[in-house]
Structure 1
Amino acid sequence: MTEQTDLRQRDYYVDMVEKKYFANVDRKNMDAVLDCFAEDAVFTIQSAFTTHEGRDTGIRKMFENLFNTYSPKIVHRDFKHVVDIENNCCAAQFEVELTDTDGNETYLSNCNFFYLDKNGKFERVFVYMSGENVLV
C-alpha cells in the first residue's frame, strides 16, 4: 500500500467533494471553497477549453463570477463517485441547478475529475459540463 492509501480511504474523497467542496459552493462560502485547493491548483473546464490557474487568483475569480451571477441559487445534487485511492483521485457525476440574477434557470449534468496532492487538497480539477460554460 502507498502512503496516500494509508492516509485516506474512499470516504475522505466523497466527503471532500460533497461536503467540503460542493456544499460550500452551494452556500457561496468562498473561504471554505478555496481551502479545498492547493495554492498552485489548476481548474480546467475541459468541455469549454478553459483553464483557471492559482487558488488565490484564477480560481478565486472564477468563483467570484459564479457566485455573483448565480446568487439566487446554486445546487449540486445526486452524486455518484468513482474513487481511485492508489492514484489519489476521484470522479464525481452530479446534477446542477442554477438560477441567475435575472431569474433564468439552468440545469446541467456534469462530471468532474479531482486529483489531490499529498496534503489532500485539489491540485487539478477537470470539468465536463453538459451545457454552456457557467464557470467563466
Structure 2
Amino acid sequence: MDRDSCIAFIEHDYFGSVSAGDLDATMACFTEDARVVIRHGDQAVRRFAVQSTADAVPLEDFYRHLCGNYAAWFGDFWHVVDTAAARAASRFTVRLTPKTDGRYADAGEQTLLNCNFFEFDGAKIRDMIIYYANPGSAGLTPTGYPQG
C-alpha cells in the first residue's frame, strides 16, 4: 500500500467500520491469522486473535463488546507510515459514548488518546498493538521532560 492508501484504510476502512458498528467489515480488515495486543496503562496486557488460541481470546469478542456497549468516534489522526516495511503508527482521539441499553449506560462519555501500531500483509492488518490511555488523559499537558 502506498501512504495515502494506508491512511485511507486505517481511517475509513478500519476505524470507519468500528465506528459504524459493522463487525463483518471490521473483521474483514484483518488477515486470517491476525493477532492484536491491547495495552492500557498498568493493567494486564490483553491478547486477541482472529483464530482464538490458548493465549488469545477471539478478536471478534473485543469488537462485539466495544460496539455493543459504546458509540465510538475516532478522529484527530496523526500517522507515521513506513510503506517499505508495511507498517504504520497512528495517534488519535477516541470518544466512547455509552449506549443507553449497554453495560456502561451510566458511565458517561470517555475521551482517550490512543496509539495503534499496525503491521500489514497486503491490504489487511496482520498484527496490531493498541495502546489506550486512561479516560480524560487526552487533555493532559506534556511533563516537560527532559529539562535542560
With structure 2 as the length reference, what TM-score do the two structures score?
0.77
In the alignment, structure 1 residue 34 sits paired with structure 2 residue 27: yes
Deviation at residue 31 of structure 1 after TM alignment: 1.1
Question: Given the alignment, which residue of 110, 116, 121 partners 1:112?
Answer: 116
Structure number with larger C-alpha Rg: 2
Q: Deviations for 1:63-88, whole angstroms, at most 9, x for unmatched residues?
A: 00111111xx2100010000001110
> For residues 46 and 95 of structure 1, what CA distance do their matches in structure 2 show?
16
- The letter of the residue matching 1:9 is D
Q: CA RMSD in A?
A: 1.6
Consecutive unaligned residues in structure 2, runs of 5 or more: 100-104, 136-148
Identity %: 30
Match of 2:50 in 1: 54
Aligned partner of residue 18 in structure 1, secondary structure = helix
Of structures 1 and 2, the one with the larger relative CO (CA 8 A, separation 6+) is 1
In the alignment, structure 1 residue 22 sits paired with structure 2 residue 15: yes
Q: Deviations for 1:89-128, whole angstroms, at most 9, x for unmatched residues?
A: 11000000011131521110000001001x3210000011
- The letter of the residue matching 2:90 is A
- The letter of the residue matching 1:78 is D
With structure 1 as the length reference, what TM-score do the two structures score?
0.84
Match of 1:123 in 2: 126
> For residues 38 and 99 of structure 1, what CA distance do their matches in structure 2 show?
29
Consecutive unaligned residues in structure 1, runs of 5 or more: 1-7
Deviation at residue 53 of structure 1 after TM alignment: 1.1
Match of 1:66 in 2: 66
- The letter of the residue matching 1:17 is I
